Structure 1
């Protein structure tokens, strides 16, 4: 025997040829390897100068196809079963499946070791049978048995009677009724021995990839692309392998589920299998490896079980994990009394940190205002495309409702997105600090009095006070001051606001503008009619309105410019023991002093004799109202009263006094008018009563 080796280069491949000479036989073994990152297993071809009989196609029946000398998958006929007959009435029924490659070259189908038969009871696998020679046979689409198929196409691979008999002899299958008709569909193609050019035709592209978490311990890397190689004619089984560059080892391999790629076929028409060269599938990997630098390897192999044997690989570019910390605030909007913060935070540093918290930080004061725990994840498929190697990028979004706080009106607010492994988010965390921003840019404090007047015996005040500084200050107070002295006359506090949609349109930057109105009727108090009023609108955090507040001082207003104190005694007379007095007393100073009294006064002794309350029925004076239209009570300023006097007042000078007061009894805070007319009583004396 003589052996010689020859090394030469074909394209990118180094080829070694070994010539071994035997008596009458020359065997050539050729191995090829790429000089780039394409890894090719060593295919072998043999040339023998002895003649080899051509394969033949038989259409005989299974009985005719049986031959002790043929190395084929024909169904033997009249196979004797040597096991003893048994009572099968109580045997359990099973089902069987024929498992193995569904696509293979026609010259490999004769090997039954490519297949197994799974036996199931109630859908549970109880035994795996490995067929022997003669246990399987092939039929074409017409149902004819084909002993040695040479034509590519679709065939049926079936369990023969011999195979069924052999299975019945298995001790572990005793007591079971076995399924007799066990078949599967296979695709056969013409065998082909790749040449050097075929190995050079090893193309591929990783079109896209992304990583997502699928469970507490696993992640899925989704890969899409294609791998076309002429060597796939000999090695038809496609595999995808994940190589972990960080750990320096393979971490997963899966069989390719082929995808048609007519675009690849159009570009590589002369490359075998280019049409079905695509892949688009998930590969499950350990979650702990999701942040590593990975490489996807596409492989064609002759081994459909493990992806070993003869093989050719294509290494795609390394997938470098993104170790950055990325985030963005998409929008901050005021909605129904709170801020809605929308954005995203994607980082592999959050791996294992399942608690997401949004912290609201006052950058002006350097303190935390509040935090929102357990932020719900929002799907963001756009981020999966932008950051394909960040685990969880596809659901890294957030949409959080943040309460409205007073500090947000004037201070710079900073949002902090935090992933933490603890529920309180105070340990083992990764943060992203967004840039400080003014949430509310309108810092104006504005107000307006629409009307201030007296209506139905009440001080009616309508207007508005709009400012973002009212945020966190829910109590609204109107304070009435004497504009000249600063003395407080009255205040009114409420949490019921008047709706003002017109202000929402006018001041879109003031979030509380729509609820900034007021329209109230207040009690009239003394001092309102004869002095200018200073009205103050106050938003406060407390109901007493004495702390933590923001004010708007309106310009002083005068309710009635005519503040004179006028009166007239139309008649003042005495008849017998009755004194009659009628007239009017009109003054704006009576505002807040609703009680009108006439007092009969003894000037001689400087003592009050009697007082009479003026009723509304006796007070109407339209003539006075016409004469003094700017006087508050002119239309109700009249009086018509009677006093009864005793003889003891005979000879005394009596005068009458008109009084407007805030006291129902006629005392208190009053404004008086003393009339100058006098009467002197001369009441007859009853001498009989005097004697008594």
Structure 2
């Protein structure tokens, strides 16, 4: 530099001549000087920052080219990962003071750069005359590979606890993916297939210990999870945590998963047990429990021949309450209703075992889906004797109870017809004229005493009748029981009657007549009209006595039971669709019903499959409904529900009471707002029905 500056006034060799000896001209010499005396830099700080997906870079680099770019370089391959333009250099007076070069203070950089996870990186600074950061027009690079190689953040997680109780996995731990997502879900995954079993949305727990462990990354304390998630039995699962921007837990909008495949958990459990199997007088007694893989409508116990494997007998049995199974299995769908217990008359001289079948076929066959559970290793042998058939002199029917209370006739007894029929009806007959006054369809009741009395005659255990029927005033009456194949109780398709004309009761004369309704029944068929005329006196009387509107009660009964013709009403006498909750101690009946989703998520439908539903979407399931001995019991239970159901410290349906509602329109609105039905038009439809058929004349 000195030679160049003073070459006109000294006797030094001219620089051009000097450098030409080495093959350089003065332009090249100046470039060398510029490079070695102007290519200074330092990387002062490089570390992970923010939530983990960025790095902080601080330092300086002096070169007189126009643009500066910071490059994130892969330390393993030496290739560029990303670049960042330093548009506003930081002022570094300390650099200019050390270098003593004018303009070198404008050399600092201080940047936050996004980086991929799990990579070894170093920083390179480029001073260039290309606005895109390439080498066009001249560029000089400064690598800081020797200063620091940084491992970028990798998602970190820990599964702290994992346990199973019943059908529910409890798990805790933490997961920080290196950036924030809107939602967190915990999944149970099938360890064999890697497919989802179930999922649950959980709010991240605060874990300050994790934040300290991760070097105080932003938001890393919001990394904990504490979840309870239901799983099926007989499966091996592992836990997966998903951070996602999708509100239902899918991958839309960005997501990242953490699998804990090294921690597997088995949900294998017994799902059946034969608790008892014994014989007495050629009657086989058996009990136990069976939880199939999905729901079915009916349960049958089969007696099987050990030698031939063929069926000897079958009997339909109710699904019994088994709270011990519920405790053992957890809240699996239907695990509290898994019991079977029955006594079956069997042939003599046979080695036998039992098989339990869950099926959708009402006759116990394999149509419509089924699942069997056999116990061929538990065998009993019946004695070699022939059961004594019932003597001809034995009764085939009996009326046990016949009395009248407030114009309600109560009767019970049994009837063994000569052959099987589909339906059973009790008729109230006028003693004076022999004409029918009222009829009611009832289910076949269990009568083990009749079974013993008739020496185990096939079907004799299902011979009972018991009901309450509204009857007119001032009448002498007797009852008749009809077994028939006609759904309306008439004589088509075969029937058999059993009348008890020697057992007569008389109803009291009415002292305070109720209003005579003037219905408008255009479009109502004869069967519907007969049902209405048979039921409305009971509804009118019960409603009046209990501060309710008869029109509301009648309108509901029509809608919920389809004029008494809906399958549930026929088989269970349930006129109001009331389900059997945990407080119900009476008989139950399982039927297909429509539910409305309370929120977005997965549910199990009537086929036993998990489906995804959105809030408000309808889907079908099998549910337990209350089963009554008579329609009169259904009416009384409805009144009890409306008058006694609590909501906290208040009566849930007090707005339905006549003294509070004042009009049936107000009562209908209060019934819907009280949550009786999910249909948003329930009250409107009920009022329209009252108006259409003039049911208000009952009031």
TM-score, scaled to structure 1: 0.38
Structure with greater helix share of residues? 2
TM-score, scaled to structure 2: 0.37
Larger Rg: 1
